[in-house]
Chains A and B, each alone.
Chain A
Amino acid sequence: MSSGLALAGASGNRRWWFFVAAVVVAALPLVFQDSYWRTNLIVCALNIMLAIGLDFILGYAGQLNLGHSAFYGIGAYASTLLIMKLGVPFWMAFVCAVVLAGAAGMALSIFAVRLRGHYLAIASLGFAVIVHQVLLNWISLTQGPLGIYAIKPPPDIALPGLPVISFGNTANMFYLVAAFAFLFYLLLDQLVRSPIGETLTAIREDEISAASFGINCTAWKVFAFGVGSAIAGAAGAFYASFVGTLVPDAFIITESFTILAMVIVGGMGTLIGPVWGAILLTVLPELLRGFGDLRLVLYGAALTLVVLFMPGGIVQAVQILRARIGRLPTATKAGTRQ
């Protein structure tokens, strides 16, 4: 009974935070009116989707996946080709892209089920290289490096009694992508707060031990890969319809490392960490643009410093800071006594 009440209390607190986040998201396009920053907002929301999806695979299930860019690319190309070659409506193509990317993730994890650690990292990296090369060289389908142009934004939504919502408008596009990022966050949050959270953590911590409590490690790893890569597929579909052009190099393997950096900088194994990591690593390079080529050096240096001094990422830094502020009064007391 008491634990049930505690649960209700905790979720009540979280509900309040979700409300605050929704208000902030709603206000953002009003604060940032120019198209440059609105574009960055949308990229932020896309990167949040990618980062939380990877975190589910890496931070919770502990599977070192370096092929996340491949699922992003599969989602983008699948939805675009379905729309442009077969005339499939956007939302149906979107669903197909999500399913296809998820299936690709599951297929990779089934194939790589005996691999872990560095070996899985190399296998997933290889997968990302293969997907990139296929996109680049299957010219009859993807037009290779020439790219696909004039991809339409998602269709307008006309609700009775309201003005037509057009996604050619960057503010509306941001709301759409942010709403989905929010939805996926909620989904993963619910999953990791269910017994699935403990099951995946058990697999991350010790697979042999997990198996001896009846956990089917293979099935759960496939599940984590499926969910994480499906979310990347959704991000890909939105990316294509937002940017309007597709080239294979948007999904080159370095993109995987960028997403990985977002997860690590934010704090692996927490969901909120990768959100902050994605925002920071999207906005920081833009803020450093004034430094010209030096910005990459600064970006790299900032990343190195974070990994060296805050291995738990932003989440850990906040925890340490909170603990220090909490201890401050007693610390000063001890100081005056001496």
Chain B
Amino acid sequence: MTASGRPAPAVQARPDATAALFYGEGLHKRFGGVQAVRDISLNVPHGSVFAIIGPNGAGKSTLLNLMSGLYQPDAGRMVFDGVDLVGLSAHKRVRLGLARTFQKLRLFKQLSALGNVVAASHIHHDIPAWQYVVHAAAFGRDHARCRAEAIKLLGFVGLEGRASVQAASLAYGEQRMLELARALATSPRLLMLDEPAAGLNAAEVERLLERIRLLREGGMTIIVVEHNMDLVMKISDRVLVMDYGQHLFEGTPAEVQANPSVIAAYLGAMT
């Protein structure tokens, strides 16, 4: 298991603010009569791959939306690298180093693949205000740098030959990889992937796994919400299992696979 070399925090211990890149404590979110997330605490160590699994409607995506700032929690704390996230809007969290992809693809369909990545590198532009009107040297440098970086990212996800294709015309698997490239364009320290393997064929899942491994080797911390158990078991250091918005179990992939309550709630239902 990939988790072998890593000191994993004790299960169910109170999250420790100093060891974790991200930690959340007692998170709640209610939509009308539905308690989508109930008292979830999680502790994501630096450089780890942290998986969140659970049956449909378990609240995984809601939890991700709380972390990325699309929703604000009704109660609870969230700290990213020492910064309190509660109340901070999504666009500000990106500048801290959080990035995410969407389960339901949200590409800029009318832009090219390259345009999508360039649009996603919004926070990295280094142009004096007047050069937006009169394009001079700094503008040219920024333009060349952003394009080069975008092309490099497209190459990383295997879309280098598709840079000028409109996002809407890409094949589904390609669109998923473009989502990944866009999220990487913000140069995140914490990357949150919402069902990145949904709708991918076996070869594409294999490529995705390889990319995630490479990113993790590069020092990136990754949270992945996934239904593909094979992928989760292969890459994650720790797995949080949710059911009905609540914490069901947390541990290493091996512990999750052996836990009877998880099997009953989720794995058992699948086989």
Q: Which residues of A are interface residues toward B (Cβ below 8 A)?
A: 1, 3-4, 7, 11, 187, 190-191, 193-196, 198-199, 201-202, 204-206, 208-217, 269
Contact = CB atoms under 8 A, between A and B. Distances in A.
A215 B91 contact: yes
Contact of A201 (B108, B146, B186): B108
B135 A208 contact: no
Contacts of A214: 91-92, 94-95, 122-123, 186
A201 B143 contact: no
Contacts of B90: 208, 211-212
A201 B139 contact: no
Contacts, number: 105
A196 B185 CA distance: 16
Contacts of A213: 91, 94, 99, 119-123, 182, 185-186
A205 B95 contact: no
B67 to A, nearest CB: 11
19 contacts: A3-B144, A190-B133, A190-B135, A194-B127, A194-B132, A194-B135, A194-B139, A195-B146, A198-B118, A201-B110, A208-B90, A211-B89, A212-B70, A212-B91, A213-B119, A213-B120, A213-B122, A214-B186, A215-B91
Contact of B147 (A3, A208, A211, A216): A3
Given A3-B147, A201-B115, A202-B119, A195 B125 contact: yes
Contact of A199 (B100, B106, B119): B119
A209 B107 contact: yes
Binding site of A, secondary structure by majority: helix, strand, loop or mixed?
helix
Contacts of A11: 135
B108 A205 contact: yes
Contacts of A206: 106-108
Nearest to A199: B122
Interface residues of B, number: 43
Interface string B118-154: 1111110101000111110001101110111000000
Contacts of A201: 108, 110-111, 115, 119
Given A196-B132, A208-B70, A212-B70, 17 more contacts: A3-B143, A3-B147, A4-B140, A7-B140, A190-B134, A194-B127, A194-B135, A195-B125, A195-B146, A202-B122, A204-B110, A208-B90, A209-B108, A210-B119, A213-B91, A214-B186, A269-B110
Given A209-B107, A213-B122, A214-B186, A198 B91 contact: no
B247 interface: no
Most chain A beta carbons < 10 A, residue from B99, B119, B140, B144: B119
A60 to B, nearest CB: 11
B102 interface: yes
Contacts of B121: 213
B252 interface: no
B68 interface: yes
A30 to B, nearest CB: 32
A11 B118 CA distance: 19
A3 B119 contact: no
B227 interface: no
